[in-house]
């Protein structure tokens, strides 16, 4: 069994920052679960455009308020207790009115320190290779 707390991760190489977010990676590919799980902060007042072409992502908000908009779709309000799942690799924009704390699950799992490339996706890191910033 793996037991880990947020305090174990903060300030380590599992604590990964992007321009508008900070992702504390509780489970990564190397943990062997078949998915990764992140405790992520989306900073207040930011807008993040993403398109996870190589991954499926489910996002469960536990703190803070904002909205998510898919391209050509509606804007949906996000708050504590709301889940969105990008089951079609949807391009989307996340807008944080307040700092939002999200539990993010990725399939296939993120391997380490991946951050978004210019198109808003994470690279698919081949098995056995080191993860790296995109
Ligand atoms: C909600 C979202 O996708 N935020 C960007 C960071 C990412 N989810 C991560 O790596 O935790």
Q: Distance, CA 74 to ligand 1 centroid (Å)? A: 20
Cα–Cα–Cα angle for 65, 68, 72, rounded to 5 degrees? 155
Helix/strand/coil for 130: coil
Q: What is the pLDDT of residues 60-69, one digit of tens each?
A: 999 999 999 9
Closest CA to 19 of 39, 60, 54, 48: 48
pLDDT digits (tens, 9 = 90+) for 16-25: 999 999 999 9
> What separation in angstroms does the CA of 77 have from each of 1, 25, 33, 44?
36, 25, 31, 15
* Residue 38 CA, closest ligand 1 atom number: 11
- Nearest atom, ligand 1, residue 40 CA: 11
Indicate the pTM of the whole model: 0.92
CB hemisphere CA count around 57 (13 angstroms): 21
């Amino acid at each position: 069994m793996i037991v880990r707390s947020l305090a174990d991760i903060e300030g380590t190489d599992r604590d990964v920052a992007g321009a508008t977010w900070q992702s504390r990676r509780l489970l990564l590919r190397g943990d062997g679960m078949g998915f990764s799980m992140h405790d992520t902060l989306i900073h207040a007042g930011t807008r993040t455009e993403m398109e996870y072409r190589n991954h499926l992502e489910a996002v469960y908000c536990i703190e803070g308020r904002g909205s998510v908009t898919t391209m050509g779709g509606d804007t949906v309000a996000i708050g504590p207790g709301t889940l969105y799942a990008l089951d079609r690799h949807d391009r989307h924009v996340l807008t944080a009115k307040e700092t939002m704390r999200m539990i993010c699950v990725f399939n296939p799992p993120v391997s380490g320190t991946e951050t978004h490339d210019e198109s808003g996706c994470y690279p698919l890191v081949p098995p056995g290779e080191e993860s790296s910033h995109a």
